[in-house]
Structure 1
Amino acid sequence: MTQNKCRHSNILPIGTCCFCNSSAPEKLLDICFNYINRNLMSICEYFGYSGYLKLKNGISLPVEMCERLLNIRSNSLCSIDSNFINIFKDTKNTRLKRVRLRKSKIMDHDLEVLLAHQLIELEISHSRDLTHNCIQHIHKYGSSLYSLTIGEGTDIFPALIYGDLGQWNQNYIFLAPNLRRFSLQSCQDLPASFYALLLNPMTNLTHLDLSNCTDLGTLNYTEHLVNLRSLVLYNVSSIAILVPSICKLKNLTHLDLSQSREEHRKFPNSTVILTALVESLPHLTSLDISGTNLAGTGVAETDSARGSDIPGLISRVNNPFHFLGLYETSHDASLRHDIPAKLIAGNANEEQILIAALAYLDRTEMLQKVLNELFHFFRFDTCRYIGQALNVVLESMNRHLHERHIQISGSATLFYIVKGTDRELHDAVHVKRRIITTLLNGMSIHRNDETMMRNGCLTLCQFKIPIDVLFEYERLVDVLLYSVHGMTAESFVQRIGIYLLNSLACQVDGHQKVRLGELGAVNKMIWLISERLERRYCDDVLEVAWSTMWNVTDETPSNCRKFLESNGMEYFLSCLERFPDREELLRNMMGLLGNVAEVRELRHYLITTEYLSVFSDLLDSRCDGIEVSYNAAGVIAHIASDGPEVWTVQEPSRKEVLRKLVLAIDRWDLNSQRNINYRSFEPILYLVKVYHTPECQHWAVWALANLTKVYPDKYCHLVEKEGGPALLHDLIRDPIPPMPVKHLAAIVIENCAKYKDQDWQQELDG
């Protein structure tokens, strides 16, 4: 770890800061590998009848590309199983040297496929399908291994192996003569004789990690490891009896005795033990005693205890450690003043907490506590190392996707980071994408957890919707739809989820609206509506459900059809009957029906006495200004545009309804502010050409006159772009339309001309 000049971080090198170079375009190589990971068939094909994958003929991948693909898949939500591993069975066209797998679904034969590449580094953790049979594969290919990690949740040493060690007539369990780094984590109830047999042939080891292992005996079987530089005994019990053996490992430069469990924290004669260790290991530059009482009480125990507030470290006052772990030590050792170390993992300040987070990234118990402290810093204090903190949080969440508490703490911290760095995030495309992807990963796995879903939704609300999230559009929609349908009714998560979903539906293009429907948006909204109707309960969720369907059906016939096929009209009538005074609800429902009426092949569904009577009555509505009356008129205008022959009901009569339509239009104020958004005037301009029913033209030209007058900057250009002026000139010259219609058409033309002149003048002035 070195100091740097990055303004976001003062702990790690610049390259690790999320914000540095964040405005640079995404690397083409990253784009390609992410695509391949999601679409393996782009480079693969199925092999015979096995269903396994293999590379397509003519494709050969070098070691850098193979390892990158494996790492990307391991860090994503895509599974690593036998089907995927089979790609690497072809050792001529694929190459691997370093393999790190977490939470994979590989079997023993899959591990052999990987080891056959003569790996120099192998890490497997939480691979629960591996058995003791894979030991023979490690033994067979072990000569190439320099680093081997058998992590948590990977039990390849069951009772039948170590229950009777006498069955092993050789003096080893497997041979890996060139092994330098070995990590065996969370092995429970193994006798000390097993560790002795396991480590016996590993004479070249420089790094040994036995975290969370039990019954290590006295550790005297490590005395032959004369090259050992690093020893990690995190959460190992009864360390006091191991001290004499540890003190004999004279070449150690790193020693980790940290604890996260209360029952292992206290050492008898703690200062004596720490003093013995430090004075016996002269090359030690890194020491971790976090979670223990080895730092003493902070009170000088002898007259010579000067220069350090940690009695056991007096001898290192003039030779400080490069790293010292003091996180959650007894008597708050990290808060003391005279600590002989350059970098300290502790609780005292932001820098100590960030160093602790980096040190314990792979330790879920300690990392959870560190992230909680980091969250409180961002919530209550001003943080200096924002880029570093963001990097730590994202790395923690991605490494521990299935750890609920880490996801909750991390997502809560992300909320405050994103909220407080909005300006810096504005151009930081890579950073935004990494945050959003990390949140969606956690929300996808913990979608039934109210707290995680709340944190995720609140953080997503800090981004620009939909621009910032389009690259993860479908995954976000999937998560939000679940929050609407799968979470507790009337919960905060359901409420914020539907607001986010409505924002997405409102501002995306036609293809994405279609996809929203295919993913179940209409069905989920109908479910919400039916649930509230059943309880006779009208709230903002009900209103937004109709608003979402209004947005998702905009110029999207397939979604309009889904609404009708889901008995949407029945729910419309039920809401109208039970909640007649809810203006926003009525506006949203009529806006939706306006979209349905624009689809010619669906209009016949609306031609019933009941529906037409409702639309006719709503022409007189004064709810929400003119919006309800306006939308009802639009529905009627589109139905009438198909001619008298389609009006197949006697009551209400077509003539009477059209008469009421004109009366309603004449009543509207042309200067009315609107609560509506048009992306295209195609449906309205279609009505301008309906000469057989001038009432349809009347509604269309009034709409254009109002919008171009009140919002000229937004709509005059759209009228011009879609050929509106030519159609309106034709209408004025035609003898059929009445004068009020022609007058409105002239207003539209005049509004557009004024806007164009003003636009040209601004260009000249500019």
Structure 2
Amino acid sequence: MGAPQIYCPWEENAPEPLLDLSGKYVIRNPETFCVLNQENGMWSLRPGVALPTEICEKLLNLWQDSDPELLDDKFINIFSDVQCTRIKRVTLRSSSVTDAGLKNLLSHNLVELDISNCKYLTERTLDCINENCENLNTLVIGKTKDIFPLPPVLDSDDISEEALISKMDSKGPILKTTNLRRFVVRELNLPTMPSYFNILLKPLTLITHMDLSGCGFLDDCSCLHHMNHLASLNLHSVQRVQDAVATICKMTNLRFLDISQANQKFGMFENPNSTLSTIVTSLPQLSALDISGTNLPGDGTFDFERTNKKKHELDDMEVESFCDIPGLQSRVSNPLEFLGLYNTSHDACHRHHIPAKVVTGDANEEQILAGTAAYLDRPEVLVKALNELFHIFRFETCHNQSRALNVILLAMIRHRHEKHIQISGSASLFYIAKSEEKSNLSVRAKQKMIEVLLAAMETHLDDSTMMRNGCLTLCQFRIPQDVLFEYKRLVQLLLQLIRGRSDSDDFVRRIAIYLLNSLACQVDGEQKELVGDLGAIETMLKLINDRLKSRIHDDMLEIAWSAMWNVTDETPINCQRFLDGHGMNCFQRCLKEFPDKPELLRNMMGLLGNVAEVESLRSRLMSPELLNTFSHLLDSNSDGIEVSYNAAGVLSHMASSGPETWTVVEPSRAQVLERMVAAIERWDLASKRNINYRSFEPILRLLEVFESPECQHWAAWALANLTKVYPEKYCTLVEEEGGLVLLEKVLESPLPYARIKTLARIVIRKCQSFKDCGSLELMDQEGES
């Protein structure tokens, strides 16, 4: 007991086990091994399928780790067939299981059961536990108090305690779990019957570990007298625990004792020094003691009079016998393994001579980490410890970051719905994610951080502090590489934040748009299509319309266009979504409202270039107003050559469909193409670019449009510029996608005019030169080796 040794599988720098990966997949897709009963909505195993204990318990644990509230009877029904499934240890903490669902599991004759905080369970569950408890040795009820029967109500107002006990005894034991070794029930308070615990605990004679945290009306704990094997007793936040000291001192087998208080006013003992001394001398096997929130450590005054010397006169042996907690003087030569001193009177944890190997408190990092691990089941204490840990990250240096990460993640997983725990934990995760030590984290540790952050954000969407912490922390990871495993989930969350409410935090929305744009920038078509399926185009257009309505130009407006530019890249369905959502109307209004914004113009024209690449959509751009706009932008010097370049790209693709598809009389196709060529020839071939191509396929298609050499001109210039300025990035791409073969065809054909062939030769020479340089470098390396 005390501060637990925590094993966290995500620490290992190794792939996630196949069992875990497959388990996560099947619980998200139960149809892979189950069939759904349409009448009752329950899952059951497919005929012929049988699952061993290890797999059954793993599936339940994975559900518990992902979102326990979603763990309900529908899924638990899988284990109703005891012939085809086997299960012995079940944790359903904070799940949505009902009496019927738990009955299915109890039919397996469980060894361990944890039903803490299961709000849908009733007294029928207690009956079922009693009927199937032959092998049960661990029962964790926690705060699931509704399963216990209330004391009987008798007719007379003048009822004796004996009468109540007699009536309850006549019904038989409340618990028939006579083989229990570990029992946990918390915050059970029945003021109408002070002797309730005497009846409840009477059959439990073999108990070795008892946790009655927060329970009331235990009086002197005489209800524990018959537990001769008790090795661990937890009476955290039990009021009037002072009355139980005499009983506790008779439990000579105790190795762990917790008499701490969350509220310090209930932890005041008379004669604290002598009381603590009596406890530890009466319990010779005691190795772990928690007296947090009490005055039992005393005021720390050392009794120099017993030596008849002044402090400076003491020798080394006498100094070693110092004990700044008077009541623990007897343990100086035999220090406790664990001592809880969190929030004690007179700041006991800050003292120098403490006879314990592990101490919880707030004096230093080690004490705070120990406290966070020890108090994982105590939200009110845990949030304070997490705040202390956050201050270390913010104002000092955390020397054991790996251990800190583990306890933070465990706390956030255990208390997903405790907002303050999530906020405090995520604040520390931000500093871990931005630290230099982040590179030492395993892939699984990073993934666990991201999973826990997403869960916290999904649970507390309306809390702006939580959203800020989450978004800022996510920004510290490599986007999209580190988050690809939760791509859909993250996109859905970001879109929710961007849509937000009218009064939502604009700072959060800005970061969310930035992240969404980054997510869409470097992924393939399938993921871009997914982003569109989830409503990204519609969300961006609404944001743009809101900005236009308010006549606001800001970074959010520009990033919204940038995001759509990225999402529509070689993704025709998203281009169509843009047009169907009246995107061209937004384009024209933005152009009119904000004509002198270079970044905005570049982003808008880049997006329209993607639309123009889709042959089936070009007709929707074919209007005199739009063609005149594009032609006018050919002469733009905004953002270097980018706006002019993108306008030429749009017109090249539109013209590439042939003269018969140019349905507009004015401006004519010939006029537009002539103006486009003039613009291309004004551009500097050595211009540095603010653009990123992942594929040249749309440009290479234009090289094959021999009947419209002007379109080839733009394509050849684009390739010549990119391979000249960024050869290491684009020369290989040209060759890999068959560009050199197409350029050779351009040179062989009589149709392209001379300038096009000149540009084609430039690209071929650049690619060959880059390839030769690579060969020479390889030869040099081989020679050196």
TM range (shorter): over 0.9
Counterpart position of 1:435: 449
> 1: CA distance between counterparts of 2:413 and 2:654?
54
Counterpart position of 1:41: 31
Q: For the Cα contact (< 8 Å) 1:325–1:346, is it kept in 2?
A: yes
Please, which moves more after superposition, 387-396 or 306-315?
306-315
Q: 1:14 to 1:160 in 2, by over 3 A?
A: closer
* 2:130 counterpart of 1:139: yes
Q: For the Cα contact (< 8 Å) 2:53–2:85, is it kept in 1?
A: yes
1:201 to 203, 222, 241: 203
Counterparts of residues 2-401 of structure 1 (less than 5 Å): 16=8, 19=11, 21-22=12-13, 24-47=14-37, 49-77=39-67, 79-157=70-148, 159=150, 166-190=167-191, 191-300=193-302, 303-304=305-306, 307-401=322-416
Measured against aligned partners, the alpha-carbon deviations of 1:668-696 in whole angstroms (never above 9, x if no partner) come to 11111111111111111111121222211
Measured against aligned partners, the alpha-carbon deviations of 1:191-235 in whole angstroms (never above 9, x if no partner) come to 321111100111111111111112222221211111111111111
Please, which moves more after superposition, 380-389 or 297-306?
297-306
* 2:688 counterpart of 1:687: no
Counterpart position of 1:614: 629
Report the CA distance between 1:13 and its aligned residue: 6.5
Measured against aligned partners, the alpha-carbon deviations of 1:435-477 in whole angstroms (never above 9, x if no partner) come to 1111111112112221112112222222111111111111111
1:639 to 654, 663, 668: 654
> 1: CA distance between counterparts of 2:124 and 2:303?
54
> 1: CA distance between counterparts of 2:609 and 2:406?
48
Q: For the Cα contact (< 8 Å) 1:308–1:338, is it kept in 2?
A: yes
State the one-letter code of the partner of 1:169: S
State the one-letter code of the partner of 2:186: Q
Counterpart position of 2:318: none
Q: For the Cα contact (< 8 Å) 1:125–1:154, is it kept in 2?
A: no
Segments of 5+ residues of structure 2 without an aligned counterpart are 155-163, 308-320
Q: For the Cα contact (< 8 Å) 1:17–1:391, is it kept in 2?
A: no
State the one-letter code of the partner of 1:178: N
Counterpart position of 1:461: 475
> 2: CA distance between counterparts of 1:192 and 1:139?
23
> 2: CA distance between counterparts of 1:454 and 1:368?
19
> 2: CA distance between counterparts of 1:302 and 1:729?
98
Q: For the Cα contact (< 8 Å) 2:41–2:74, is it kept in 1?
A: yes
> 1: CA distance between counterparts of 2:30 and 2:50?
14
State the one-letter code of the partner of 1:461: C
Counterparts of residues 708-727 of structure 1 (less than 5 Å): 708-727=723-742
> 2: CA distance between counterparts of 1:75 and 1:264?
35
Counterpart position of 2:764: 749
Say which SS state the counterpart of residue 35 (structure 2) adopts.
strand
Q: For the Cα contact (< 8 Å) 1:18–1:390, is it kept in 2?
A: no
Q: For the Cα contact (< 8 Å) 1:12–1:388, is it kept in 2?
A: no
> 1: CA distance between counterparts of 2:552 and 2:344?
54
Report the CA distance between 1:161 and its aligned residue: 6.1
State the one-letter code of the partner of 1:273: T
> 1: CA distance between counterparts of 2:604 and 2:372?
51
> 2: CA distance between counterparts of 1:423 and 1:197?
54
> 1: CA distance between counterparts of 2:169 and 2:593?
80
> 1: CA distance between counterparts of 2:348 and 2:477?
41
Please, which moves more after superposition, 212-221 or 347-356?
212-221
Q: For the Cα contact (< 8 Å) 1:192–1:216, is it kept in 2?
A: yes
* 2:573 counterpart of 1:558: yes
Please, which moves more after superposition, 735-744 or 263-272?
263-272
Counterparts of residues 511-660 of structure 1 (less than 5 Å): 511-660=526-675
Say which SS state the counterpart of residue 282 (structure 1) adopts.
coil
Q: 1:304 to 1:84 in 2, by over 3 A?
A: farther
Report the CA distance between 1:65 and its aligned residue: 1.4
Measured against aligned partners, the alpha-carbon deviations of 1:616-643 in whole angstroms (never above 9, x if no partner) come to 1111110000000000111011111111
Measured against aligned partners, the alpha-carbon deviations of 1:469-526 in whole angstroms (never above 9, x if no partner) come to 1111111111111221126556221111111111110011111111111111111111
Measured against aligned partners, the alpha-carbon deviations of 1:374-411 in whole angstroms (never above 9, x if no partner) come to 11112222222221111111111111111111111111
Measured against aligned partners, the alpha-carbon deviations of 1:321-353 in whole angstroms (never above 9, x if no partner) come to 111100111111011111111111111111111
Q: 1:155 to 1:13 in 2, by over 3 A?
A: closer
> 2: CA distance between counterparts of 1:238 and 1:538?
64
Please, which moves more after superposition, 81-90 or 735-744?
735-744
Measured against aligned partners, the alpha-carbon deviations of 1:85-111 in whole angstroms (never above 9, x if no partner) come to 111110111111111111111111212
Please, which moves more after superposition, 237-246 or 602-611?
237-246
State the one-letter code of the partner of 1:186: E
Report the CA distance between 1:184 and its aligned residue: 0.7
Q: For the Cα contact (< 8 Å) 2:432–2:438, is it kept in 1?
A: no
> 2: CA distance between counterparts of 1:38 and 1:211?
36
Report the CA distance between 1:302 and its aligned residue: 8.6
Please, which moves more after superposition, 592-601 or 63-72?
63-72
Q: For the Cα contact (< 8 Å) 1:155–1:187, is it kept in 2?
A: no
Please, which moves more after superposition, 468-477 or 245-254?
245-254
> 1: CA distance between counterparts of 2:108 and 2:297?
46
Q: For the Cα contact (< 8 Å) 1:171–1:197, is it kept in 2?
A: no
Report the CA distance between 1:552 and its aligned residue: 0.6
> 2: CA distance between counterparts of 1:648 and 1:490?
47
Counterpart position of 2:161: none
Q: For the Cα contact (< 8 Å) 2:544–2:586, is it kept in 1?
A: yes
Say which SS state the counterpart of residue 491 (structure 2) adopts.
helix
> 2: CA distance between counterparts of 1:140 and 1:750?
85
Q: For the Cα contact (< 8 Å) 2:91–2:114, is it kept in 1?
A: yes
TM-score between the two structures when normalised by the length of structure 1 = 0.95
Q: 1:14 to 1:71 in 2, by over 3 A?
A: closer
Say which SS state the counterpart of residue 122 (structure 1) adopts.
strand
> 2: CA distance between counterparts of 1:171 and 1:303?
59
Say which SS state the counterpart of residue 692 (structure 2) adopts.
coil
Q: 1:588 to 1:161 in 2, by over 3 A?
A: farther
Report the CA distance between 1:18 and its aligned residue: 5.6
Counterpart position of 1:7: none
* 2:496 counterpart of 1:482: yes
> 2: CA distance between counterparts of 1:629 and 1:444?
43
Report the CA distance between 1:153 and its aligned residue: 4.6
Q: For the Cα contact (< 8 Å) 2:169–2:199, is it kept in 1?
A: no
> 1: CA distance between counterparts of 2:564 and 2:247?
71
Instruction: Give the CA RMSD over aligned residues.
Output: 2.0
State the one-letter code of the partner of 1:196: N
> 2: CA distance between counterparts of 1:322 and 1:148?
26
Q: 1:14 to 1:290 in 2, by over 3 A?
A: closer
Say which SS state the counterpart of residue 390 (structure 2) adopts.
helix
Q: How many residues align?
A: 755
